[in-house]
């Protein structure tokens, strides 16, 4: 790695740099260390919330910044200081909740960062098992949603689409005032979710914020991911890859490397640095 073709490397966690045992391979860890030695910025770009992130990454994980909650928050990793957060305001939240209830959908509302692991649950309808399994990981922080007492701000909502992908696009048309992201459940990696955020939230915007924060908006960037919520990141970065366990729709759009269980991240870095 004698040439420096990129200034910033961004990577998703689950299904990308984390293997199926939620660990980083020794190969990928060493690659991150070497990138740091080359003064290349290492940016985690994950859908995980602040609480979950702190519990999955060791404190000495070799990264410089973390874009978490799909871009709703940004953290300087060595100091663990939150530098930026973006929340939905109450008017938009009330309208989204009204529509979701009219559709008879199960969903969660997440309180503002850093407490976005505190969840208000609306699971009044059948087929809520996937969402209930998810909130069980936060069982000490879950309360029933009271429609008449919504919070003044929220980080995001998670909506269970009941296997009906068309609902995502239908609801997206009704919510032009927020950011909507199609993703898969971390519980079974196949159940479709809709995530809803402030309109400025995205992993790509998180990278832009970091570049501007460092007064270097023209950084050459690398991105790698594995799921639908990585689309905007990979469309933004100059060198974009997916691991082989990504959906087929993504593998036709971006360069493919080996899976998250085979250090695909390091393979992608090698490909960029050898060109």
Residue 111 resides in a domain: yes
73 lies in the same domain as 99: no
Range of the domain at 24: 8-85+201-274
Q: How long, in residues, is the chain?
A: 275
Place of tokens 């098992």: 129
Strands 153-154 and 156-160: unpaired
197, 219, 241 - which closes a domain: 197
260 & 178 share domain? no
**CATH number, domain containing residue 254:** 3.40.50.1000
Residue 53, judged by CB atoms within 10 A of its CB (0-12, 13-18, 19+), counts as buried
Using the predicted structure, report yes or no on whether residue 198 has a pLDDT greater than 90: yes
Flag whether pLDDT at 161 surpasses 90.
Answer: yes
Please compute the mean of the pLDDT values over residues 102-106 and round it to a whole number: 97
Strands 156-160, 107-110: pairing kind: antiparallel
Residue 259 DSSP label: -
Q: Which of 162, 180, 197 is the last residue of a domain?
A: 197
Does the bond joining 237 to the residue before it have cis omega, within 30 degrees of 0?
Answer: no
Asked if 196 and 172 touch (Cβ cutoff 8 Å), the reply is no
Residue 68 is encoded by which pair of tokens?
């978490």
Q: Mean pLDDT, the chain, as a whole number? A: 96
Joined together, the tokens standing for residue 26 give 């020794």
Same domain, 205 and 81: yes
Task: Enter the tokens of residue 271.
Answer: 């490909």
Contact criterion met (CB below 8 Å) for 193 and 158: yes
Q: Is 148 exposed, middle or buried (0-12, 13-18, 19+ CB in 10 A)?
A: exposed
How many domains does the chain fold into? 2
| CATH code: domain of residue 164 | 3.30.1240.10
- Answer whether 150's CB lies under 8 Å from 95's CB: no
Residue 3 lies in a domain: no
Strand partners, 66: 44, 75
Neighbour count for residue 163 (Cβ, 10 Å): 11
Same domain flag for 147 and 228: no
Query: In this structure, is residue 1 part of a structural domain?
Result: no
Final residue in a domain of this structure, among 163, 182, 197: 197
Q: Is the pLDDT of residue 1 over 80?
A: no
Q: Are residues 95 and 176 in the same domain?
A: yes
Same domain, 116 and 149: yes
Q: Same domain for 54 and 131? A: no
Q: Is residue 167 in some structural domain?
A: yes
The confidence score (pLDDT) of residue 272 equals 97
Residue at 187 is within a domain = yes
pLDDT for the residue 4: 84
Same domain, 71 and 95: no
Residues 35 and 116 in one domain: no
CB 180 within 8 A of CB 123: no
* pLDDT higher than threshold 50 for residue 51: yes
Query: In terms of domains, do 208 and 113 share one?
Result: no
Query: Residue 3's pLDDT is what?
Result: 56
Show the tokens assigned to 233. 């990141």
Instruction: Dump the DSSP string for 178-223.
Output: SEEEEEE-TTTS-SEEEEEE-TT--HHHHHHHHHHHTT-TT--EEE
pLDDT per position as a tens digit, 235-259: 999 999 999 999 999 999 999 999 9
Same domain? For 250 and 186 the reply is no
pLDDT band at 12 (very low <50, low <70, confident <90, very high): very high
């Amino acid at each position: 790695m004698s040439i420096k073709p990129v200034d910033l490397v961004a990577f998703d966690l689950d299904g990308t740099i984390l293997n199926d045992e939620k660990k980083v391979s020794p190969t990928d860890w060493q690659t991150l260390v070497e990138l740091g030695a080359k003064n290349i910025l290492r940016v985690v770009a994950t859908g995980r919330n602040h609480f979950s992130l702190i519990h999955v990454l060791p404190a000495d994980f070799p990264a410089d910044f973390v874009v978490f909650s799909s871009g709703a928050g940004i953290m300087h990793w060595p100091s663990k200081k939150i530098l930026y957060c973006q929340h939905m305001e109450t008017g938009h939240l009330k309208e989204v909740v009204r529509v979701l209830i009219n559709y008879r959908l199960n969903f969660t509302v997440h309180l503002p960062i850093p407490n976005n692991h505190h969840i208000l649950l609306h699971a009044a309808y059948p087929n809520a098992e996937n969402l209930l399994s998810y909130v069980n990981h936060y069982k000490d922080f879950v309360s029933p949603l009271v429609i008449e007492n919504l919070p003044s701000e929220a980080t995001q909502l998670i909506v269970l689409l009941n296997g009906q992908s068309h609902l995502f696009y239908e609801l997206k048309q009704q919510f032009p005032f927020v950011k909507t992201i199609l993703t898969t459940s971390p519980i079974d990696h196949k159940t479709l979710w809709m995530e809803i955020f402030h309109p400025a939230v995205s992993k790509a915007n998180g990278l832009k914020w970091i570049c501007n924060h460092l007064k270097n908006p023209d950084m050459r960037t690398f991105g790698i991911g594995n799921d639908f919520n990585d689309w905007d990141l990979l469309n933004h970065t100059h060198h974009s890859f997916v691991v082989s366990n990504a959906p087929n729709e993504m593998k036709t759009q971006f360069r493919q490397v080996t899976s998250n269980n085979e250090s695909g991240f390091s393979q992608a870095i090698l490909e960029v640095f050898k060109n």
